[in-house]
Structure 1
Amino acid sequence: MAEPRIVITYCTQCQWLLRAQWYAGELLTTFAAEVGEVALVPATGGMFRIDVGSECVWNRKRDGGFPEIGPLKRLVRDRIAPGKDLGHSDRVGS
Protein backbone atom coordinates (compact mmCIF):
# COMPACT_ATOMS: atom_id res chain seq x y z
CA MET A 1 0.00 0.00 0.00
CA ALA A 2 1.34 3.45 -0.93
CA GLU A 3 1.98 5.79 1.93
CA PRO A 4 -0.30 8.83 2.21
CA ARG A 5 0.26 12.00 0.25
CA ILE A 6 -0.29 15.36 1.93
CA VAL A 7 -1.05 18.29 -0.35
CA ILE A 8 -0.80 21.89 0.82
CA THR A 9 -2.43 24.25 -1.66
CA TYR A 10 -1.52 27.90 -1.06
CA CYS A 11 -2.29 31.27 -2.66
CA THR A 12 0.64 32.84 -4.49
CA GLN A 13 -1.13 36.20 -4.67
CA CYS A 14 -1.31 36.25 -0.86
CA GLN A 15 2.36 35.21 -0.63
CA TRP A 16 1.64 32.20 1.59
CA LEU A 17 4.51 30.07 0.28
CA LEU A 18 6.60 30.45 3.45
CA ARG A 19 3.62 29.46 5.61
CA ALA A 20 3.02 26.41 3.40
CA GLN A 21 6.70 25.46 3.58
CA TRP A 22 6.68 25.73 7.36
CA TYR A 23 3.63 23.46 7.69
CA ALA A 24 5.24 21.00 5.24
CA GLY A 25 8.44 20.89 7.29
CA GLU A 26 6.56 20.34 10.53
CA LEU A 27 4.50 17.52 9.04
CA LEU A 28 7.52 15.87 7.40
CA THR A 29 9.45 16.02 10.66
CA THR A 30 6.58 14.60 12.72
CA PHE A 31 5.43 11.94 10.25
CA ALA A 32 8.72 11.01 8.55
CA ALA A 33 7.96 7.27 8.67
CA GLU A 34 4.23 7.52 7.97
CA VAL A 35 3.93 9.85 4.97
CA GLY A 36 5.04 9.22 1.40
CA GLU A 37 5.02 12.79 0.16
CA VAL A 38 4.18 16.36 1.08
CA ALA A 39 3.42 18.44 -2.00
CA LEU A 40 3.11 22.22 -2.27
CA VAL A 41 0.64 23.33 -4.92
CA PRO A 42 0.44 26.99 -5.95
CA ALA A 43 -3.02 28.51 -6.45
CA THR A 44 -4.76 31.89 -6.38
CA GLY A 45 -7.87 33.46 -4.89
CA GLY A 46 -6.98 33.21 -1.21
CA MET A 47 -6.77 29.40 -1.29
CA PHE A 48 -5.08 27.63 1.60
CA ARG A 49 -6.02 24.03 2.22
CA ILE A 50 -4.40 20.86 3.44
CA ASP A 51 -5.45 17.48 2.09
CA VAL A 52 -4.44 14.07 3.39
CA GLY A 53 -5.08 11.63 0.60
CA SER A 54 -8.47 12.56 -0.83
CA GLU A 55 -9.73 14.20 2.39
CA CYS A 56 -9.51 17.92 3.09
CA VAL A 57 -8.44 18.28 6.74
CA TRP A 58 -8.12 22.07 6.69
CA ASN A 59 -9.56 24.78 4.47
CA ARG A 60 -8.82 28.40 5.41
CA LYS A 61 -12.20 29.65 4.19
CA ARG A 62 -14.23 26.80 5.72
CA ASP A 63 -12.33 26.51 9.00
CA GLY A 64 -11.55 30.17 9.61
CA GLY A 65 -7.93 31.13 9.04
CA PHE A 66 -4.87 28.99 9.53
CA PRO A 67 -4.52 26.02 11.89
CA GLU A 68 -2.31 25.97 14.94
CA ILE A 69 0.35 23.32 14.44
CA GLY A 70 -0.70 21.08 17.37
CA PRO A 71 -4.31 20.63 16.21
CA LEU A 72 -3.15 20.20 12.59
CA LYS A 73 -0.75 17.43 13.60
CA ARG A 74 -3.58 15.72 15.49
CA LEU A 75 -5.87 15.95 12.41
CA VAL A 76 -3.17 14.41 10.22
CA ARG A 77 -2.21 11.78 12.81
CA ASP A 78 -5.83 10.66 13.25
CA ARG A 79 -5.92 9.84 9.54
CA ILE A 80 -2.51 8.30 8.87
CA ALA A 81 -1.16 6.99 12.20
CA PRO A 82 -3.92 6.84 14.84
CA GLY A 83 -1.72 5.15 17.44
CA LYS A 84 1.18 7.62 17.16
CA ASP A 85 2.04 9.60 20.28
CA LEU A 86 2.61 13.26 19.45
CA GLY A 87 4.07 14.15 22.83
CA HIS A 88 3.41 17.78 23.72
CA SER A 89 1.25 18.23 20.58
CA ASP A 90 -1.30 15.84 22.10
CA ARG A 91 -2.01 18.25 24.92
CA VAL A 92 -5.19 20.27 24.47
CA GLY A 93 -4.34 23.86 23.63
CA SER A 94 -1.07 22.95 21.86
Structure 2
Amino acid sequence: MTTSPRVAIEYCTQCRWMLRASWVAQELLTTFGARLGEVALVPGTGGVFRVSVRPDDGAAEQVIWDRSVESAFPELPQLKARLRDVVAPDLALGHTDRAARRAEGEPDA
Protein backbone atom coordinates (compact mmCIF):
# COMPACT_ATOMS: atom_id res chain seq x y z
CA MET A 1 0.00 0.00 0.00
CA THR A 2 1.36 3.40 -0.92
CA THR A 3 0.92 6.42 1.29
CA SER A 4 2.01 8.89 -1.32
CA PRO A 5 1.14 11.72 -1.25
CA ARG A 6 0.26 11.95 2.44
CA VAL A 7 -1.67 14.90 3.87
CA ALA A 8 -1.64 15.47 7.64
CA ILE A 9 -4.13 17.76 9.34
CA GLU A 10 -2.96 18.56 12.86
CA TYR A 11 -5.69 20.08 15.03
CA CYS A 12 -6.09 21.20 18.64
CA THR A 13 -8.10 18.77 20.75
CA GLN A 14 -8.42 21.30 23.58
CA CYS A 15 -10.09 23.71 21.14
CA ARG A 16 -12.39 20.94 19.88
CA TRP A 17 -11.35 21.42 16.26
CA MET A 18 -11.67 17.76 15.27
CA LEU A 19 -14.93 18.42 13.39
CA ARG A 20 -13.28 21.20 11.37
CA ALA A 21 -10.27 18.97 10.65
CA SER A 22 -12.46 16.07 9.52
CA TRP A 23 -14.48 18.39 7.27
CA VAL A 24 -11.26 19.65 5.65
CA ALA A 25 -10.12 16.02 5.19
CA GLN A 26 -13.44 15.12 3.55
CA GLU A 27 -13.23 18.07 1.17
CA LEU A 28 -9.65 17.23 0.16
CA LEU A 29 -10.52 13.56 -0.42
CA THR A 30 -13.57 14.55 -2.45
CA THR A 31 -11.56 16.93 -4.63
CA PHE A 32 -8.35 14.92 -5.07
CA GLY A 33 -9.63 11.35 -4.71
CA ALA A 34 -7.08 8.73 -5.72
CA ARG A 35 -4.41 11.41 -6.23
CA LEU A 36 -3.91 11.25 -2.45
CA GLY A 37 -2.52 8.17 -0.77
CA GLU A 38 -3.59 9.18 2.72
CA VAL A 39 -5.21 11.98 4.69
CA ALA A 40 -4.45 11.74 8.40
CA LEU A 41 -5.99 13.56 11.36
CA VAL A 42 -3.30 14.28 13.95
CA PRO A 43 -4.45 15.39 17.42
CA GLY A 44 -2.45 18.22 18.96
CA THR A 45 -2.73 20.98 21.55
CA GLY A 46 -1.98 24.66 21.96
CA GLY A 47 -4.33 26.00 19.29
CA VAL A 48 -2.62 24.19 16.42
CA PHE A 49 -4.32 23.85 13.05
CA ARG A 50 -1.70 22.89 10.46
CA VAL A 51 -2.03 21.15 7.11
CA SER A 52 1.06 19.56 5.63
CA VAL A 53 1.79 17.28 2.71
CA ARG A 54 4.54 14.79 1.94
CA PRO A 55 4.45 14.55 -1.87
CA ASP A 56 6.10 11.12 -2.07
CA ASP A 57 7.64 8.52 0.20
CA GLY A 58 11.14 10.02 0.22
CA ALA A 59 10.22 13.71 0.21
CA ALA A 60 10.25 16.14 3.09
CA GLU A 61 6.94 17.27 4.50
CA GLN A 62 5.75 20.71 3.34
CA VAL A 63 3.45 22.87 5.45
CA ILE A 64 0.76 24.32 3.18
CA TRP A 65 -1.28 25.99 5.94
CA ASP A 66 -0.46 26.94 9.50
CA ARG A 67 -3.07 28.83 11.49
CA SER A 68 -0.38 30.40 13.69
CA VAL A 69 1.37 31.85 10.62
CA GLU A 70 -1.73 32.78 8.59
CA SER A 71 -3.67 34.05 11.65
CA ALA A 72 -6.79 32.32 10.35
CA PHE A 73 -8.28 29.01 9.37
CA PRO A 74 -7.89 28.14 5.68
CA GLU A 75 -10.57 28.95 3.16
CA LEU A 76 -11.14 25.68 1.30
CA PRO A 77 -10.50 27.06 -2.21
CA GLN A 78 -7.19 28.52 -1.08
CA LEU A 79 -6.15 25.31 0.68
CA LYS A 80 -7.14 23.14 -2.30
CA ALA A 81 -5.12 25.36 -4.65
CA ARG A 82 -2.03 25.13 -2.43
CA LEU A 83 -2.35 21.35 -2.19
CA ARG A 84 -2.94 21.04 -5.93
CA ASP A 85 0.22 23.04 -6.63
CA VAL A 86 2.21 20.37 -4.75
CA VAL A 87 0.52 17.08 -5.69
CA ALA A 88 -1.22 17.67 -9.04
CA PRO A 89 -0.11 20.94 -10.69
CA ASP A 90 -1.93 20.10 -13.92
CA LEU A 91 -5.31 19.61 -12.19
CA ALA A 92 -7.88 22.31 -12.98
CA LEU A 93 -10.03 23.17 -9.99
CA GLY A 94 -12.62 25.20 -11.91
CA HIS A 95 -14.47 27.72 -9.74
CA THR A 96 -12.18 26.83 -6.84
CA ASP A 97 -9.24 28.36 -8.75
CA ARG A 98 -11.07 31.68 -9.08
CA ALA A 99 -11.99 31.73 -5.39
CA ALA A 100 -8.42 30.84 -4.40
CA ARG A 101 -6.99 33.68 -6.50
CA ARG A 102 -9.35 36.14 -4.81
CA ALA A 103 -8.37 34.81 -1.36
CA GLU A 104 -4.68 35.30 -2.22
CA GLY A 105 -5.41 38.86 -3.42
CA GLU A 106 -4.90 38.13 -7.12
CA PRO A 107 -7.30 39.33 -9.85
CA ASP A 108 -9.55 36.81 -11.62
CA ALA A 109 -8.17 35.57 -14.93
TM-score by length of 2: 0.82
- The aligned residue for residue 64 of structure 1 is 71
- The aligned residue for residue 7 of structure 2 is 6
Structure 1 unmatched ranges of 5 or more: none
How far apart, in 2, do the equivalents of 1:38 and 1:49 lie?
A: 13
Find runs of 4+ consecutive structure 1 residues off by over 3 angstroms: none
TM-score by length of 1: 0.95
- State the SS of the aligned residue for 2:102: coil
Give the residue type in structure 1 aligned to 2:51.
Answer: I
Residues matched between the structures, number: 94
1:33 deviates by 2.0
How far apart, in 1, do the equivalents of 2:78 and 2:67 lie?
A: 14
1:63 deviates by 1.1
Q: Once superposed, what is the RMSD of the aligned Cα atoms? A: 1.3
How far apart, in 2, do the equivalents of 1:61 and 1:17 lie?
A: 17
- The aligned residue for residue 58 of structure 2 is none
